Structure 1
Amino acid sequence: MLNPKVKQGIQVAVSLTVAVWIFWFLYKDIEMTSLMAQLRSSNWFWIVSSLAISLFGFWVRGWRWALLIQADEGKPVTANRAYHAVMVGYLANMLVPRAGEVARCGVLSRTNGISVGHLIGTVILERSIDLVFLTGTILLAFVLENNLFLALARELVDVESLGQKLFNNLPILLGGLIIFFLFLYLLFKRFRNHGIVNKLQNFGRQLLSGVKSISTLKNPIGFWASSFLIWIIYFLTMYLVSLAIQSTANLTPGEVLLVMVMGSIGMIAPVQGGIGTFHALVAYILIQFGVSDSDGKIFAAIIHGTQTIMIVIVGLISWIVMMRIPAWIKPDKA
């Protein structure tokens, strides 16, 4: 058995290697002079505006997180402190994929005395809600750009032939699904006391309970409004940068929404800060909209690069702020 730290180190090294390789493969043919020329010709008013509204979005995310934290222990969490913890989390994600969730819970537990377990539970709920909104955004993008979706699908498979085969084999397909779900039911019933099954069931119950608990928040309207606002800000961040670059300035809002969806999927990949995967997916979809290969890659580099620089700077400031706050000491009940 490998030491956990060694295992984590190997995972980090592998993910970073994959990210760097994808990035190198994408940009090996892009000359630095082309990138610098694009940077000079870009409208930096829109890029700076994009960074400003993105920073506001981080604060909104912190405020939403503070609304979820209802622990009886420790000190109540303010929106500003939750924001700083969120930024520390984003900074940690630049070093180790998925470490940000634990890092932000750790620093907030230190300053406010709330258990890490409770905080991680709120983060899981947050991520679940974000997944719902991402799914909704994908569906909205499909409605607005359904022709492109179908064209991309046709490049991968013969949609009409696949649909005909599915229709011809519908009874077999339905029967297979029934047998599959019956198998899952019997499996869960047979091994209901097994550790893994118990963990899955408990996770499902906790997730459902967490979603239901949103209605019991002191400010449920604020929670849902902030969740909508976060995704609107994501869109505006991408849209403002598209206005700054001549080759993407004519993209429609629906096209920018699809670019945002692809970028969001790229950021989910288990690599540091979405390096490589974000660039590949954003550049790919821009090429489908008629943007040249080099311009698509440069657009992805500009928006990801400016966001990364901001996260590193602001994240370091937030880390310093959180470290300067004295650790929470549980008061004596004497």
Structure 2
Amino acid sequence: MKLTLKQWIQVFLSFGVAIWIFWFLYKDISQEALLEGLRETSGFWLGLSILISIIGFWLRAWRWKLLIQVGESDSIPTKRVLLALMIGYLANLLVPRAGEIARCGALKKTEGIQIGKLFGTVILERTIDLIFLVSTISIAFLIEKDLFLSLLSDLVSLETLGDRISSALPLLLGGALVASIFIYLVFQKYRDHGLFQKFQHFIRDIIKGFISLKQVRNQFGFWSSSVLIWAIYYLTMYFVALAIPSTASLSAGSVLMVMVMGSIGMIAPVQGGIGTFHALVAFILMAYGLTNEEGKIFAVIVHGSQVLTVIVLGTIASAVFLKLSAKKEPKSS
């Protein structure tokens, strides 16, 4: 995948931001403290966390295969889809959001599937994941409602929040009306512009994708795998929590909150969520009574173990892909 000069600048800027956030977070944490935290970490629980995350990668590849096979007569080997997926994860560590393009390109090369269809399935997959993330946040709020309200009260006075909203309601409604009129006029004037047409096509593709979900042959497998993928995300975090003495006593609901904050941190447009993941995870762990140092050590262990897993599996997948490409193997059935 070739990048333009502008794209390279964006890559280095995002990488620089990630490194700066990471440095700012860990500049006061000594190397001895990090090494001590690693020595105290249970290899059994950490290994179990890595193992179940690998199962999660396979499950995600299998679910993606179900989407790809809609309307196709031939079956696609899950192992080929997994190779493309891991190449995509590895690309995301180098260039933010490049993984989606990389995995589609890899699968097109090995299986000959149109890249437009592959990219459409990725958009649909990401949309479904977003729905599950919002649902998980809602569940975490119900379970840890007191903590949510406590954190909110630290930022905003709940006693005066209602009065402020009531007093500002006419202004908010008026602003919403003006904004709606403005958006409508802009749309009417520029609806034939290329940017608006691309946006319309994007929305249309998402709608078509959701309609095509009815054509997935294994409905139970698709939706149950979607639930299991997020359950595995949770178990990956929970096993690491058990591996570290300072977090071993966290409740199931607390770990769910940590997973939610980590997931939000991974959305940031930086390589592999570096910095943003660590900041949000450490922040929520401090709310549960851990020290600043303990929260940051947990974040670097759970994130580092996953990044190393992706690097190893992604490198192996890339080597296998290059071998397959060199041999120019025909499409498997």
Structure 1-normalised TM-score?
0.93
After TM superposition, the structure 1 = structure 2 runs for residues 260-279 of structure 1, keeping only pairs within 5 Å, are 260-279=259-278
Name 1:95's counterpart in structure 2: 94
Tell me which amino acid in the other structure corresponds to 2:328.
A
What do residues 9-28 of structure 1 show as CA deviations (whole Å, max 9, x unaligned)? 11111111111111111111
Contact 2:70 2:216 in 1 (8 A): no
Unaligned runs of 5+ in 1: none
Contact 1:235 1:257 in 2 (8 A): yes
Q: Distance in 2 between matches of 1:228 and 1:78?
A: 22
Name 1:11's counterpart in structure 2: 10
Contact 2:89 2:310 in 1 (8 A): yes
Which range is displaced more, 294-303 or 220-229? 220-229
1:188 matches 2:172 = no
1:235 matches 2:240 = no
After TM superposition, the structure 1 = structure 2 runs for residues 79-228 of structure 1, keeping only pairs within 5 Å, are 79-228=78-227
Name 2:36's counterpart in structure 1: 37
Show structure 1 runs of 4+ deviating over 4 A. Answer: 71-75
Number of aligned residues: 328
User: How far off its partner does 1:253 sit?
Assistant: 1.0
Q: Distance in 1 between matches of 2:23 and 2:300?
A: 12
User: How far off its partner does 1:191 sit?
Assistant: 3.2
User: How far off its partner does 1:71 sit?
Assistant: 6.7
User: How far off its partner does 1:138 sit?
Assistant: 0.9
Q: Distance in 1 between matches of 2:71 and 2:179?
A: 43
Q: Distance in 1 between matches of 2:170 and 2:242?
A: 51
Contact 2:96 2:269 in 1 (8 A): yes
Name 2:328's counterpart in structure 1: 327
Tell me which amino acid in the other structure corresponds to 2:204.
R
User: How far off its partner does 1:156 sit?
Assistant: 1.9
What do residues 172-204 of structure 1 show as CA deviations (whole Å, max 9, x unaligned)? 433433443344344334433222222222211
Which range is displaced more, 296-305 or 319-328? 319-328
User: How far off its partner does 1:322 sit?
Assistant: 1.9
Q: Distance in 2 between matches of 1:328 and 1:268?
A: 36
Name 1:59's counterpart in structure 2: 58
Tell me which amino acid in the other structure corresponds to 1:305.
G
Unaligned runs of 5+ in 2: none
Tell me which amino acid in the other structure corresponds to 1:327.
K
User: How far off its partner does 1:137 sit?
Assistant: 0.8
Distance 1:6 1:70, change over 3 A: same
Q: Distance in 2 between matches of 1:28 and 1:169?
A: 43
Contact 2:60 2:229 in 1 (8 A): yes
1:254 matches 2:253 = yes
User: How far off its partner does 1:166 sit?
Assistant: 1.1
Q: Distance in 2 between matches of 1:181 and 1:160?
A: 31
Q: Distance in 1 between matches of 2:3 and 2:111?
A: 28
Q: Residue 217 of structure 2 aligns to a residue in which SS?
A: coil
Contact 2:104 2:118 in 1 (8 A): yes
Q: Distance in 2 between matches of 1:61 and 1:29?
A: 38
Tell me which amino acid in the other structure corresponds to 2:287.
Q
What do residues 209-248 of structure 1 show as CA deviations (whole Å, max 9, x unaligned)? 1112111111122111111111110001001110111111
Q: Distance in 2 between matches of 1:208 and 1:328?
A: 35
Q: Residue 94 of structure 2 aligns to a residue in which SS?
A: coil
Which range is displaced more, 147-156 or 51-60? 147-156
User: How far off its partner does 1:128 sit?
Assistant: 0.7
Contact 1:191 1:197 in 2 (8 A): yes
Tell me which amino acid in the other structure corresponds to 2:249.
N
Q: Distance in 1 between matches of 2:193 and 2:75?
A: 38
Q: Distance in 1 between matches of 2:120 and 2:55?
A: 24
Structure 2-normalised TM-score?
0.93
Q: Distance in 2 between matches of 1:273 and 1:136?
A: 23
Tell me which amino acid in the other structure corresponds to 1:283.
A
